Chains A and B, each alone.
Chain A
Amino acid sequence: MEKLDRRWLFLLIGLSVIIPSITNLRFPVTTSPPTLNLWNFVDSLKYTQKPIIIVTDYSPSTSPELQPMANALFRHALEADIPVILYGGLYPDGYGLAQITERTVLEEMNYHLANGDSIIYGKDYVFLPFAPGGLAVIVGMGEDLIGTFRIDVHGDSLKFLPMMDNIRRLEDIGLIVDIAGSAVSRWWMIYAGTRYGTPIGVGTTAVSAAEYYTFLQTRQFIGMLGGMKGAAEYEELNAQRLNIEVRKQAGIAMASQNFVHILIIVMVILGNISFFVLKKNRERRL
């Protein structure tokens, strides 16, 4: 194993991703409590009609994990008639990714709801533009949301959009779900959550997920979508409970995930066996 050219491993990993994808292998997706809690909380907003803010605080480098989350959340909220504020986040990169979410979901939903119940901008959802200032923007939203942004992405005044009639500041918001591949979710928790009392949910890359479990136990995060598995779980809940029949971007990927994980486990075991065998041989020679 020590002399194995690592390019063989790259090839094996590549094949472990490609083969399950093209053979349409599917594995059942079981739902974990953090995802279920988030889904239930989002769904409960249909009774209060308080809006959800979906924040796409990530860049293209983490979009394979996070884009399916944004899509699934946006789809769920629109399907359940929950007012949505789509916000491209505190960094410039997220704005373009929020545009992709908007386009993808609207195309699917307007196809799905061809009976006339289409999605109307300004009534069903609003799209906020990038605003400079990082956490100062969160504080600004807490004090005066409309004053912080003034206009939407189309350049129209937020004051004239019917959905924004009863929204003045963060306390009027039912839930903020920050989807991020960095520590930005903590900013939302600290400022929007602790300071203004707005419930916060998080969608995060798998790298950050382990760190955020501590905030789930204390309910500082209502729920969490951890990596591609979290996105697949949310897609599955949408399908089971709302009969949303769309391409499950993350769900499809889970078969490849399983295969690569098995491969890596085998490689770790073989690597360790090789290490101990070589160590023993060296000791014998000495």
Chain B
Amino acid sequence: MSTSIWVWIAAFLTLTIYSFLYKDNPLYRFAEHVFVGASVGWSIAIVWHMTAIPYIAMPLRDAFIQSNWPGFIYVAIPTLLGSLYFFRFFPKQSWLARWPIALMMGYFNGISISPSIETNIFPQVQGTILTGFNPTSLNSWWALLLLVGVVSTLFYFFFSLKHEGIVGKTSRLGIWFVMIAFGASFGYTIMARVSLLIGRIQFLLHDWLGILR
């Protein structure tokens, strides 16, 4: 059994969180609030020590001591722009927060559009198109199935034509592929959720109680 007070606290919080499975109770709500508070506190501490100090305070201080005014302005302007976000808390001046938002949106849109297309569309289309079909190769048949799956699924999401006749039949085939994909996702989702439970049980049995080797 662990002799660390932190392991005992973590074990207590784990058990209180799982007590919700029986029914909602004050201990569960206490643990929930501690979790939210701890994660926000952690983020603030990291941002303060790894962003505010090394990227703002120290460069400003060094530039000021060395009378490096271009260097000072180079840090001060983005800092001031970023600080405008805090005007969201003052209703009358909240419009000032739109400036950094506009700047960030412009930057991220500019930087994202071209590589997003190059990543998400071109190689994916290329990967779907069957080339060099060889009837004796199993991979070729898988590739053909993939092509049929992609095309029929796209038909299902094509709403400018009525889903009847050949379009209806193809879109109904598409539903099957969509359902198989959902099934695969569901199986994986169960694995993910169970993994979280296993993680906590392993912590309780191994780190806390020392039963599990």
**Which residues of A line the B interface, CB within 8 A?**
7, 10, 13-14, 17-18, 21-22, 24, 59-65, 91-93, 95-96, 129-132, 135-136, 139, 150-151, 186, 189-191, 193-195, 205-207, 209-211, 214, 217-218, 220, 226-229, 247, 249, 252-253, 256-257, 260-261, 264
Q: Are B190 and A261 in contact (CB under 8 A)?
A: yes
Q: Are B194 and A59 in touch, CB under 8 angstroms?
A: no
Let me know if B124 and A17 touch, CB within 8 A.
no
20 contacts between A and B (CB under 8 A): A7-B22, A14-B197, A18-B205, A21-B202, A65-B199, A92-B43, A93-B39, A95-B50, A135-B111, A191-B115, A205-B195, A206-B191, A210-B188, A214-B124, A217-B146, A227-B191, A228-B198, A253-B198, A257-B195, A260-B194
Q: Is the CB of A228 within 8 A of B191?
A: yes
Give the number of chain B interface residues (Cβ < 8 Å).
47
8 additional contacts, CB 8 Å, given A21-B198, A195-B115? Answer: A21-B205, A93-B43, A96-B46, A130-B50, A132-B55, A135-B112, A193-B119, A218-B127
Task: Name B1-60 residues within 8 Å CB distance of A.
Answer: 21-22, 39, 42-43, 46-47, 50-51, 54-55
Interface: B123 (CB within 8 A): yes
Q: How would you classify the secondary structure of chain A's contact residues: helix, strand, loop or mixed?
A: helix
Interface pair B194/A217, CB less than 8 Å apart: no
A66 (CB) vs chain B CBs: closest residue: B195
CB of B134 closer than 8 Å to a CB of A:
no
B161 at the interface (CB under 8 A from A): no
Say yes or no: A257 contacts B112, CB within 8 Å: no
**Contact B195–A228 (Cβ < 8 Å):** yes
- Contacts A10-B21, A136-B107, A214-B124 known; A207 to B188 CB distance under 8 Å? yes
Interface residue B162 (Cβ < 8 Å from any Cβ of A):
no
Q: Which residues of A contact B92 (CB under 8 A)?
A: none
Asked whether A135 lies within 8 Å of B196 as measured between CB atoms, the reply is: no
Give bound CA distance, A86 to B146, whole Å.
37
Nearest-neighbour CB distance to chain A for B69, whole angstroms, equals 21
Contact B50 A210 (CB under 8 A): no
